Structure formats: C-alpha cells, structure tokens
Structure 1
Amino acid sequence: MAELTNHTFGEIQPGATAEYTHRLSRMDVDALAIVSGEIDPFHLDREGKGREDVSAAGVAAEAVITAMIKRRYPGPGTTVVAQNLMFAGSLSAGDEVTGSITVREKREAGNVVVLDCMVTRGDRRIVSGSVTVVAPTERISYSQIATPEIILRRNDAFAPILRACESTPPVTCAVVHPCDRNSLLGAIQAAERGLIEPTLIGPERKIRAVAEEEGIDLSPYRIVSTEHSVAAAERAVALVRAGEIDSLMKGSLHTDELMGAVVSSATGLRTARRISHVFIMDVPAYPRILLVTDAAINVAPTAKEKVDIAQNAIDLAHVLGIEEPRVAILAAVETVNTTMQATIDAAILCKMADRGQITGGILDGPLAFDNAISEEAARIKKITSPVAGRADILLVPDLEAGNILAKQLEYLAGANGAGIVLGARVPIVLTSRADSARNRLTSSAIMKLVANARRAPTAMGSPEVAHV
C-alpha cells in the first residue's frame, strides 16, 4: 500500500502547493448524499442528470479538500480549525475533480497555517476560499488504509432512464381510480416532472377529497368522474380505444379490476401478443440493469406463452438502450431434465430463437440463477455461454418464482424496482402502495419511453419495438 507522510509545521513554506485529482464514483455520491442530508426521493434523480444541487456538490468538493489536507498536505496529524469556502456549480458520479492547495501564511503562535484552496471540474471552478489548520509538529507516517467496500448503490441504472425522458413531451395517461394519497401524489409528481399528461378517472368526490387533504391543486388536470373503480377501469380502456390516451396507470383499485377491463375480449386492449409484466431492477451489486419477467401477470405460463413474455422483455430492453439483450431462461439447474418442465421450456425457447421465432436478443437456458448473474459461478461449473454471468433479462419459470425473486432483490439486496405491463395496445404501470416515490417516477418514465417508441418505432432502431 502507498505510504502517507506528513509535512511538519517547520517544513511548510508560504507559496508551497499541492494538488489532488479524483473521479467521483457512485459510492462517493451516495455516501456524500447521506452526509449532506440530501436523501429526499428526488436527490439521485437530480444527481443522475448532472444537476445536483449546490449543497450536495459543496459536500463533495469539500471532501476533496479535506482529503488533501488530512492525507497529503500538511497530511496526517493536521487539524482543521476554520474555513471560508464559496460553492458554485454541480457535481455528479463520473465527474473528475481536481483540488489544489497553496500556503498563504504561517503563524508561529499555535502552529497555524492558512491555505488557499480550490476545486475544479475541467475549466469550471466548484469551490474556492481558504482553510485554516493547525499543522503537525512531529513526523507521522503510515500505510494508506484501503477504503472499505460499503454496500451503497454502485450504479444508478434509473438515472439514464429519467434523463432520456427530458427532451420529449409528456404522454397522455389515464390514471385509474386515484382515490388515495399515494396513487394521486404519484400521478401528480409524474406530471410535474413532465412524464405524463394525466386524466384522472374515478369518483370525482373521492379524488377531490384526497387532493384537498394533501393540498394538491387539481385545476391543471382533466377529471372524468365515474361511479366506482370498475367503471373507472372500463372508461379508461374506452378512452384508449378511442385514441385519446397513450398509457394507463393503476390507482387505488385492485389489479384484477384494471386488468379485467384490459384483457376483455370484446372491449379490451388485447393485441396479437400475450400481455406480460416486466420488473426493471437496479441492483447495487450487479453492474447493469436487470429485467425480471413475468412476476405479476402470467401465473404458470406455457412454453408458447413464454415466447411472448420473452419477446416483450427483449423489445423493452431495446427501448431502454440495450441493443442485443442477453436472456437467461431460469430453472433450478443448468441442464435439461425431462422431469423439470422449466428446463424443457428453456430448451424449446432457445431452439425457437435459433429458428428466428424469437428475435432481437441472445437466449440461453436452462440456467440456474447463480450461473445467470455470476461469471465466476458459470466458470466453476464450466458453462460456456454468451449469456451466463452477464444476463440482462431473467425469464422466470412462473409468477411465484419471479415475484419471490424480485422482492428478494428489493428487500435483501437493496434493489430499486420499477415495473410495466406490455403486450396491450398501450403500456400500463401497476403501482404498489410500497413503491418509493423514485420507483413510481421511473415506472412512469419507462411507460413514457415505451409509448413514444410505439408511435415512432423506426426511430428506436427496431420494428419490434412497436409491439411492446
């Protein structure tokens, strides 16, 4: 390890300089967000878009200065006693910043040293000012201690999704029965972020009562009053069929009530594709976005139904910018076993992909979960596969397995999860009362991207996108 050695008060001379360059990591940003108190649901959205607020940027830049003083110049044994710093600009993960220190003056009384400090990002000055320290009088040297691995968010897969929505207009969205706090606030927040143009459908008296209690101004939004939740679902579907609405969002009604209207053979929103659900997971310990399907709609899908489930997820991956997604078809083992239906289904799907019946992705299976997401596990088991260890999509055997997997990732691995229903005429968001504000916004952002892709499929680079 590198050795850190300080500069004593007697060695320090006015005009001496020191410089330190550091690239901010995702772990840095998360840790600094906690230190600065900037941990509201929208903090990382702003950071991910490169618009982090001044206070959080200041904490990041101040940390660079402190690292220089404590570890490099004067170094170990230095005590900061005062600072006068001005903050400007913004910082985000991936930014390379440079801190510089110049000794302005020395004061014999108390071994005080005044340092002129500055932190820049390229040509932009982020921090400037002075720091007063008490310099050490004795030599101190020690081996640099490695930074411990802290389980914070290593990557923010949702920030690029939210950023991709900035330059496009909001999509029209029927918010079905938003008659409780979470469902109404979620819709209004999505509208305020420019993601949707909501039409609130449900008992108007209940909607307005919630708005009044929460202090929400409903004057900018259209309200379509219905008698109850089932009628709200039916009216929302009718508006989609009439071409007035581009997307649907579940409010405080049961999922079965909304999906019952969507899948109606006579008046619903069915297409040639089977309807399926995809969880979009941002897992701290996994280096890329992870799609899990189907964990919410199809209880025990057959191999034939899994064809559409796989294609829906592949097309969504294209919308999210994954050009050739790797699809791991999960089972308990990585070999075909005639007594385990999931392994047989996996073999069928892979062969169908070989024959061009599933397009746009690379399929492999059966793969156990560890082989799908860990290259080391795949290596140990001698699995040669373009998918093993690097999966973008996990196609689960059935709804129970998928639901358990998604919730384990969220509650045990700290994953953020958004979700969307595909295969209908329009994308559908099924919100949950347990969803965080950021997860709700990300689901809305994905819905917006899919709705826009359906209107202009060629712009997304793949005609299959039109089916999502």
Structure 2
Amino acid sequence: MHLENKTFDELEIGARAEIRRLCTTDDLIVFANVSGNHNPMHLHDKDGDGDGVDEAICPGMFVGSLVTAVLGNVLPGAGTLYRSQSFSFVGQAMAGEELISSVEVTALDRAENTATLRTEVRRATDDTLILTGEAVVTAPRHKVSMDSADLPGLIVQRHRHFEKLLDLAAPLPPIRTAVVCPEDPNSLGGALLARSHTLIEPILVGNPARITATAAELGADLTGIEIIEVDDHPLAAARAVALVNERRADALMKGHLHTDELLRPALDRATGLRGGRRFTHVFVMDVPGLPHPLLVTDAAINISPDLKTKVDIVQNAIDLALSIGIEQPKVGILSAVETVNPDIPSSMDAALLSKMAERGQITGGLVDGPLAMDNAVDLAAARTKGIVSEVAGRAEVLVVPGLDAGNMLAKQLTYISHAEAAGVVMGARVPIILNSRADDDMSRLASCAVAALHHARRSGGAE
C-alpha cells in the first residue's frame, strides 16, 4: 500500500479518513505478547470470567490502536505525533469482527502546528459505536510518502484450530479403526499416538513380523492391540474393508502402502464401502493467520472431475465441515477469474454449482463461485472487485478445479504458509484416514480427530 501524508497546510476542517480492519484471534495473541496484557478475557481459548464461554473480547487499547493507524497512515499520515488522546469505550468488539476506525479534523492551531480530530471506531456489520474520543496531534510540515510493504510482517505459528479439534474429539469414545499395513515408524507411530489420545482403537492389519519389529524400533508396547495377519498389501486392504462390513471397524487408516491399493477394495461395487457418492478427498488445514480451519478439496483422488463429481466433492466437504463444528460452511468454488467465462470451464462449473446450491441440490452450506483465490479468502480483495457475497473473502471451504491445482494449493499452504494438514476421504460408508509419510504428529492426530468427529455426527453421537 502506498501512503502519502497530508501536511498541516493541506489540512481542512471537516477532512475525514477511515480504515477497515478485520480483527482476528491472532491479532489478540500478538497484542497480548507486545503489551504484556495477558487478561484471559481477550484470548480465544480462555474463559476469563468463569461463565463457561471463551470470550476473545478485543482489548480496549487494541481497539484504540486502530485509531492510531488512521492518524499515522492517512490523516494526517507519516510524520504525525500524538499530543493527547481521550477515549470513551461505549461498546465491545470481538475477534472475528470487522471494525471501521475513522478520524475527522475539528480544529487547527497554526501557532502550535496541531490538529484536533474526532475519533471513532464502529462495527462494520451494524454500525454500532465501539469507541469515541478526541485526538490532538502535531501535524507534519513536510510531504512524506512510503510503501507500507517495507514493514516486516508477523505470523503466529500456533495451530489452535487442530488443538480445538482434539478438544472436541476428546469426550468421544475411540473409533474402531482398521489400520492397513502399519509397517513403518510413521504409520504405526501415528496410530499408536492416536490411541494414546483415545481417538482410535486400532486393529492392525498386515505382516505381524514387520509390525512388531517396527514397534520395537519405536520402543512401543503392542499389548492389548489386535493384529490380523495378512502379508500382501492389496489383501490387507481387502481384509480391512471386510472388517468394516463385519461391523468390527468404523474407519480405515492408511499405513505403509499406496493410496490406490487402499482404496481399490473400498471402491468395489459388490464388497466395498460405497456410500452413494463419489469418493473425494478433503484436506482440513490449520493455516497460521486464518481465524478458522480451511478445507481444500479435491486434492488427492479425482484428477479432472466433471460437474456431477464436483457436486459430490462440494457436498462431502460441507458434511465434513459441519462435523468439525463449522455451523454454516462457506464454500468458495475456485477458478482463475471471478466472472463466468465460457472459455474457462472451471468458471462455468462454479456458476452451475452455485446455482444448484441456491435450488437445494447442494445443502448445508453457502456456495458461491466462480471466485479467484484472492477474493475467496481476502475481504479487501473481494471488496476491490465489487463482489457482494456472504462467501467472498470469508470462504472456509475451497473447491479447486482439479487435482493438480488442489495438490499444489495444499502443499503451498503447508510448505510456504506453515500450515498443518489433516486428510480424510469422504463418500464411503466410513471415514478413511489418509496420511502422508511427511506428516507430523499433529497432522496425524488431527486426521484421526476429524474422522472421529465425522463418525460421531453420522452415528448420532455428536451434534
């Protein structure tokens, strides 16, 4: 953003400026660290007053600091220094709300080179007044311009969304899970870790010698865990599917075998686990800086999905979003552009999916598209493009045009934005937990938590 100040000689009575700011839970964490104010009333995962609700109320001085952003950036801008500031706090703002901070010049003192400005902060959605006051500042005498991009950014690398998923799944009974070929440290260790968190009760299907050798390598005790001997990977996957059909297991979990080997018997029309929709994969991602989990689909199974498959991709993602506690999932159908272009097939599919949701052919969420990536996740970008939508800038689910785009997006978020990713296959009668060999402990736990929450919701064990 290019910033240019207003010198004292350029100021006029009645001159006004404002800045909009979406206040996030990360903002409040940063403010707590910088200010030293660790009052739990202002933290997203703390019940500060004992009423059983985590508050995440924006601190008064954080809201007040939004006024300084207008004074220092816009009016008067660079070179401005405070002389005094009064505040009256007449309302409260919460994390997740968009606030408008504004200033208006009410008096100018040439002898002192000062400007007096009325200051306000209002909630954008309903124009509720949060803060009012008056600022007296020394105005700049010289013209200054700068690029705000020169300032280093901050990212809070705390994966609180996955922590919340683990908390939500903690009261649930462990889900009986057939773990297919857990014959390497990553897959067996992940299953045992999920068992220690009471997320799953594993049934290990594979080569017993390799499984016990891996357990010895990990220093793990397999006492009390059932091991079913199947030496061949495809046969082990088929046996795991049979365990579900025999009602001995309520989920599948990938071990040390290829994904297609795991899914092939699950897709068998006679003996598999088809549930009436196409199998689709959903990444549940915890992206630092985002105030909510981000679901990306389909990035692992359907290579070039047609419109019919995309309907299932969208509906499966909405169902999973509901299971993890997103009350009304906002689904952005991605394309290269935010307008319908007959030469770009993904934009046509996006428009049709949006209309199908309006007509009740897709249910449970808000669906809009086509949206480009920027205006799907960034309110300012959506506003710049003039997009008026409950989804644009707020998308919690991103539906990609095809597997290559989805896979690249998920890996960019993981390796560039430091996101954690949980993976689950939907469309089967039971959740299928997919983990990559590169996944860390939190990703593996979160995948199991997501599967447990979805199973509980489908079976009536969770709202």
One fold, TM greater than 0.5?
Answer: yes
Equivalent residue, structure 1, for 2:162:
158
Task: Give 3-state SS (helix, strand or coil) of 2:160's partner.
Answer: coil
Return the offset for 1:181. 0.6
Equivalent residue, structure 1, for 2:178:
174
Q: In the alignment, does 2:376 pair up with 1:378?
A: no
Deviations 1:159-182 (A, max 9, x none): 111001111110100000000011
The CA distance in 1 between the partners of 2:367 and 2:446, in whole Å, is: 27
Task: Give 3-state SS (helix, strand or coil) of 1:157's partner.
Answer: helix
The CA distance in 2 between the partners of 1:29 and 1:217, in whole Å, is: 42
Equivalent residue, structure 2, for 1:207:
211
Match of 2:444 among 440, 444, 448: 440
Task: Give 3-state SS (helix, strand or coil) of 1:449's partner.
Answer: helix
Return the offset for 1:210. 0.8
Contact conserved, 1:328 with 1:388, CA < 8 A, in 2?
A: yes
The CA distance in 2 between the partners of 1:374 and 1:151, in whole Å, is: 16
Equivalent residue, structure 2, for 1:230:
234
Task: Give 3-state SS (helix, strand or coil) of 1:316's partner.
Answer: helix
Task: Give 3-state SS (helix, strand or coil) of 1:317's partner.
Answer: helix
Deviations 1:386-443 (A, max 9, x none): 1110001000000100000000011111111111111101001111110011110011
The CA distance in 2 between the partners of 1:155 and 1:440, in whole Å, is: 13
The CA distance in 2 between the partners of 1:244 and 1:365, in whole Å, is: 42
Return the offset for 1:158. 1.0
Equivalent residue, structure 2, for 1:135:
none
Task: Give 3-state SS (helix, strand or coil) of 1:364's partner.
Answer: strand
Match of 1:389 among 384, 387, 393: 393
For residues 325-340 of structure 1, the aligned pairs below 5 Å read 325-340=329-344
Deviations 1:244-269 (A, max 9, x none): 10011000001110011111112111
Task: Give 3-state SS (helix, strand or coil) of 1:249's partner.
Answer: strand
The CA distance in 2 between the partners of 1:160 and 1:420, in whole Å, is: 18
Equivalent residue, structure 1, for 2:422:
418
Contact conserved, 2:423 with 2:447, CA < 8 A, in 1?
A: yes
Match of 1:359 among 341, 360, 363: 363
Return the offset for 1:25. 4.8
The unaligned stretches of length 5 or more in structure 1 are 1-22, 32-46, 51-93, 95-146, 461-468
The CA distance in 2 between the partners of 1:29 and 1:261, in whole Å, is: 52
| Amino acid aligned to 1:355 | R
Q: In the alignment, does 2:195 pair up with 1:191?
A: yes
The CA distance in 2 between the partners of 1:25 and 1:350, in whole Å, is: 35
Structure 1 stretch 243-252 or stretch 448-457: which is displaced more?
A: 448-457
The alpha-carbon distance between structure 1 residues 29 and 402, as it changes in their structure 2 partners (threshold 3 A), is farther
| Amino acid aligned to 2:452 | K
The unaligned stretches of length 5 or more in structure 2 are 1-25, 35-42, 47-94, 96-150
Equivalent residue, structure 2, for 1:133:
none
The CA distance in 1 between the partners of 2:349 and 2:206, in whole Å, is: 42
Return the offset for 1:305. 0.7
The alpha-carbon distance between structure 1 residues 370 and 299, as it changes in their structure 2 partners (threshold 3 A), is same
Task: Give 3-state SS (helix, strand or coil) of 2:308's partner.
Answer: helix
Return the offset for 1:150. 2.7
Contact conserved, 1:30 with 1:152, CA < 8 A, in 2?
A: no
What root-mean-square deviation, in Å, do the aligned CA atoms of Structure 1 and Structure 2 show?
2.4
TM-score norm. by structure 2 comes to 0.68
The CA distance in 1 between the partners of 2:183 and 2:418, in whole Å, is: 29
Q: In the alignment, does 2:335 pair up with 1:308?
A: no
Return the offset for 1:340. 0.9
Deviations 1:203-224 (A, max 9, x none): 1111111112221111120000
Q: In the alignment, does 2:293 pair up with 1:289?
A: yes
Question: Paired residues, what number?
Answer: 328
| Amino acid aligned to 1:189 | L
Task: Give 3-state SS (helix, strand or coil) of 1:357's partner.
Answer: coil
TM-score norm. by structure 1 comes to 0.67
Contact conserved, 2:275 with 2:428, CA < 8 A, in 1?
A: yes
Deviations 1:254-309 (A, max 9, x none): 11100111111121111111111111111112221111010011111111111111
The alpha-carbon distance between structure 1 residues 334 and 49, as it changes in their structure 2 partners (threshold 3 A), is closer
Deviations 1:139-159 (A, max 9, x none): xxxxxxxx9853222661111
Return the offset for 1:48. 9.6
The alpha-carbon distance between structure 1 residues 220 and 30, as it changes in their structure 2 partners (threshold 3 A), is farther
The CA distance in 2 between the partners of 1:441 and 1:376, in whole Å, is: 34
Equivalent residue, structure 2, for 1:40:
none
The alpha-carbon distance between structure 1 residues 290 and 216, as it changes in their structure 2 partners (threshold 3 A), is same
Task: Give 3-state SS (helix, strand or coil) of 1:313's partner.
Answer: helix
The alpha-carbon distance between structure 1 residues 447 and 26, as it changes in their structure 2 partners (threshold 3 A), is farther
The CA distance in 1 between the partners of 2:274 and 2:281, in whole Å, is: 14
For residues 78-97 of structure 1, the aligned pairs below 5 Å read none
The CA distance in 2 between the partners of 1:403 and 1:182, in whole Å, is: 21
Deviations 1:319-370 (A, max 9, x none): 1111111110000001111111101101111111111100011111000000
The alpha-carbon distance between structure 1 residues 195 and 336, as it changes in their structure 2 partners (threshold 3 A), is same
Equivalent residue, structure 2, for 1:455:
459
| Amino acid aligned to 2:354 | C
| Amino acid aligned to 1:310 | V
**Large movers: runs of 4+ above 3 Å:** 23-31, 47-50
